[in-house]
Amino acid sequence: MLEVKNISVNYGAAPALWDVSLQVQPGELVCVVGPNGAGKTTLINAIAGMHRVRAGSLHFNGRDITELASHRFCEAGIAIVPEGRRLFTQMTVLDNLELGSFIASAKAHRKASLEHVLSLFPVLKVKLDSPAGSLSGGQQQMVAIGRALMARPGLLLLDEPSLGLAPLIVMDMFRIIRQINAQGTSVLLVEQNVAMAMELAKRAYVMEEGRIVAQGEASELLTRPEIQKAYLGLETHD
């Protein structure tokens, strides 16, 4: 479905990603983990078309989208839930959700998509006419995910969905992400909560300083002593 091949991305003259490759197969839930500054957000923004790729290529459903205009990535079937949600806080929840369905293919199914989103997040049913900025952090994250789903994507990109949320809300959010994936949407999850992300995902990539330094089955990576020490704070002994 998605093939990222040897991409490099710069911020001005400064390199941010070097020779990064990864894949997401149809129906997969894949995570990218790593410390702050590792390049995770840059990577997911490049896949969403928000950063131009300096070298390498992006293929989605067999199509080369490397040079595609940024606003065409959503039409191609990729939707992103950005870090920090980026809602229009003065607009209503309903208006924010409907912004996700402005491409023609999604607009034709807006009613059904809204019903689907509200089935995932029933608490939003009574908040549709409320300003998005009046919601709790967890509810705002629900709106951000719902907005992306309104585009009916084949691939959902999630950038730090647990950021700033209480532990119980995070657990509920991850349950819903698993449900979205089980319903057929492929998911690429960028997340600092390494343990929860790897428990959720089938496969994982570990990033450091703009590079992929480890990859494989998430359950296997989680047992590696160097991963446990670096990301889980566990001391292991031979």
Q: What is the pLDDT of residue 206?
A: 93
Q: What backbone phi and psi angles, to 5 degrees, belong to 156?
A: -105, 125
Return the domain boundaries, the chain: 1-77+154-238, 85-152
- Residue 41: name the closest of 96, 89, 84, 87 by CA: 84
- Per CATH, which fold does 1-77+154-238 belong to? Rossmann fold (3.40.50)
Q: Check: pTM over 0.85? Answer yes or no.
A: yes
Q: What Cα–Cα distance (Å) separates residue 26 from each residue in 3, 154, 185, 192, 236?
A: 11, 8, 8, 24, 36
Q: What is the pLDDT of residue 202?
A: 93
d(CA 125, CA 45): 30
Q: How does pLDDT run along the chain (238 residues), one tens digit per residue? A: 999 999 999 988 899 999 999 999 999 999 999 888 899 999 999 999 999 999 999 999 999 999 999 989 999 999 999 998 899 999 999 999 999 999 999 999 999 999 999 999 999 999 999 999 999 999 999 999 999 999 999 999 999 999 889 999 999 999 999 999 999 999 999 998 888 899 999 999 999 999 999 999 999 998 888 888 777 665 555 4
Give me the residues paired with residue 2 across strands.
Answer: 24, 60
Strand-pair category, 55-60 with 29-33: unpaired
Q: Can you state the angle between helices 167-182 and 137-149, rounded to 10 degrees?
A: 10
